[in-house]
Amino acid sequence: MQLAALRHRTESEDCFVISPHHVRIRFHSAKDDVKKIIVHYIDNYLPPKDAAEIEMEKVGSGQVEDHWVATLRAPYRRIKYTFEVIGEDGVHKIVGDRGIKDFSKKALLEDSSYFKLPYLHKIDMDMTPDWVKHTVWYQIFPERFANGDKSNDPKNVKPWNPEDHPGREDYYGGDLQGVIDHLDYLQKLGVNGLYFCPIFKAGSNHKYDTIDYFQVDPEFGDKDLFAKLVNEAHKRGMKIMLDAVFNHLGDQSMQWQDVVKNGEKSRFANWFHINHFPVTEYHDPSKGEGDPEYETFAFEKHMPKLDTANPEVQDFLLEIATYWVKYFDIDAWRLDVANEVDHHFWRRFHDAVTAIKPDFYIVGEVWHSARPWLNGDEFTGVMNYPYTLQIEEHFFKKKTTAKEMVEHLTDQLMMYRDMNNQAMMDMLDSHDTARILTVAGDDQALALQALTFMFMQTGSPCIYYGTEMGMSGDNDPDCRKPMDWSKEDGDVWKQVNELVKFRLKYASTLGKGTIRLTVTPDNLIKVEREGQDHITVLFNTTDSVVEVESDAQLSQNCDGTKLLPKGFAAYVKH
């Protein structure tokens, strides 16, 4: 048995409270190396000789590890536990708080063998909003969704043409009235969460260079119109998520312009990371121009980075964060470039918004491992790119086999507590990436197969506007084409609509149930979801026709009992 591979960490994603009297624990071992794991557990103040036992379940295999799970009951809200590990080679060990010991009854009775949770505090539980697990998001890039009010169109607005290839400076006139005009459409599609890219006053079409956080961009409308949008969406059972750009300001903001004018004498000089004055020029290191005068988002000179360790900056941003929750009743913030802002600020942010709405949803933009932000005091979840990009690697790019993808995804699921996995925002494309149809080589069946696979995962799925219309588009800015309204009720629309309805019909299981990913002997990818219902979904990413059961509730390229390439078949047992 590979002792170096035996792994568990208490009070982490390997050990977390799921109710005042229950703890979920995970253990990790080398692949195909361990035969059985028995957990011995009891109250901290009771003798180990009276400990209960439970055998752990192997829930999946990753690249190099097997993953094991058990749920322990703590009647008095305290618990200590240890692992009895039996290897395939017969080696018998105890893995406890002070290391690995040879198994013996005597060692099992030693208090030092036990990990301890001193008390199961409800306030320390990483609770995530239940409504998120019953939500399908729809991402709207406001400038390109619909033009509902010609009177607020920018100068040189271009004709609405979904076949265009937008430039970075192009405007098409999309606005909030256009969204209001299409709320019934969105309700018909079935989505029940609307995620908006920034709507605040800014100097660009994308609005990530904020000028005034307290003003809706006049090109989109005003605050009265936004309040109407929120109210009308809420009437239809839809949640509203806004995009918060708190890492940086736009260079046309009042604060930065004061620094430009007054230099180090500006009262906002310490709001930013300024290396030296004046800041009227910007030397871009990526172009070999030397060290920059001030820190920015990436090396974008129009986006000077805020110093969020400054209490004045914190208070300013928290006033913004709470203002839109208090007075406009938004339900969620998506946090742009969240990983570049300090943890101290995000803890203050979390406390401020959840004090107003305890079930508020906080989503960070983090493109890599996000464990530091997901301990219950910062974000609810993150944009789950490390997970969904694995899907693209297999389905679209064929860089990995089905087995390799399943291993990667299983490892990824073990990185976070169950409740965080359930609150992740899953998306295959967005305003920052090429559209899935383009990545899929304009193969619509393949794009829909991958989208369906994503919808069957734990996490809250998100559709990028136009996916249901079969829109294509390369990397930014080409992925931001004007919405193609001519494809409503077309074949692709109907398939996406059916997928959304399936996800919401079985939201209790798909949103909160257990998940197990495997590959069948025929090389089909098998997703098993266990909860209120038992749902099994098979995906054929091979070039062969594979025999499956009949009577699938949701399918593509499935002819009776024959599952064709690029096909899937979903079965539900109550």
List active site positions. 336, 365
Q: Cα separation of 549 and 97, whole Å?
A: 48
Four-point Cα dihedral 397, 399, 404, 410, nearest 10: -50
Q: Cα separation of 423 and 13, whole Å?
A: 14
The dihedral through the CA atoms of 503, 504, 506, 511 has a sign that is positive
Residue 363, beta-bridge partner list: 334, 381
Closest CA to 498 of 485, 489, 510, 508: 489
Q: CB under 8 Å to 392, separation ≥6 — which residues?
A: 428, 436, 439, 450
3-class SS of residue 115? strand
Q: CB under 8 Å to 51, separation ≥6 — which residues?
A: 40, 41, 42, 108
Closest CA to 421 of 409, 432, 429: 409
3-class SS of residue 3? helix
Give, in order, the Cα–Cα distances in Å from 177 to each of 114, 181, 222.
61, 6, 10
SS3 per residue for 375-391: CCCCCCEEECHHHHHHH
∠ CA(375), CA(380), CA(381), 5° rounding? 100
Residue 287, beta-bridge partner list: none
Q: Cα separation of 187 and 468, whole Å?
A: 13
Contact indicator for 117, 82 with CB cutoff of 8 Å: no
